[in-house]
Structure 1
């Protein structure tokens, strides 16, 4: 068995020992546009890529820095290499969490120049959690146990062709990465 995965751009990447040169934004955009939120337990397909795009747009709407906009766009990028595990299960998997944090640190360093500070992590997590509220309402018909967060974007969970999601992800990356990293 090999110790790497072959990506969309035909790179070989070992997600346990990632070489930053093998981490390609096109692979991230492509894979996240095809991965479904909530492990597929949703009423309609809503990709991780669409979620990340909303997070980035919300960060921009809040007037946060280009670096935070990009961090929001990239906050689930590790999932394109190691998939995702639902939160309740992930909380019991310390080695998975460690590997995911390391891979995400490599991704942030590659595209942002450095890993996120504690404050930057807090800002990204806040936006991620606010958008989770909308996922629960729009994709699972649930009533979250917190107040509706104030948003600066309109959140619509509508199915889009993966090619459109992939291109929008790349466009946002291009727009906000000019002065970062």
Structure 2
């Protein structure tokens, strides 16, 4: 329930459709979920580059960047991780309502978290991409040395080791990211995503 002394101004500002017409694209949230080391950030960066080359205006939200700023007061308890995703979803919705395409790269390990994000953002605008990289591959990569620390007990509640990762129950797209060459994976993502973000003037009228 909204606080009774809060008065929103959403009815006084330019609507989403006007901004999508200006940008010639449909605002969406592309939500990459998967284990640490699965390649979410790498894929997000490559996807943004390809979309930019195709004249789409995007914004990446990434776990480390968000936790060093807007969510730097949150820890890694179950409650704080849920709040982390809630804030990200709310921020994503604000961007999306400006006609911007969001590429979100977050472990978001439980279906509860992802369902909450989907509910905030909206069913039709939430494109969940499961980056399905096996745990052993993620652990072999271990670009930040986190798995090694988790195995040594230095990091508690680490997803995949001491905390579970729940497989998405109905993702928009599932990609397997085990090859060093991600070009084919990015192309696969583009083929699925382009129809969702492509500007349709008839829909916008």
TM-score range, shorter chain: 0.3 to 0.5
Q: TM-score, normalised by structure 1?
A: 0.33
Q: TM-score, normalised by structure 2?
A: 0.31
Greater fraction of residues in helix: 1
Identify which of structures 1 and 2 has the higher relative contact order when contacts are C-alpha pairs closer than 8 Å and 6+ apart.
Answer: 2
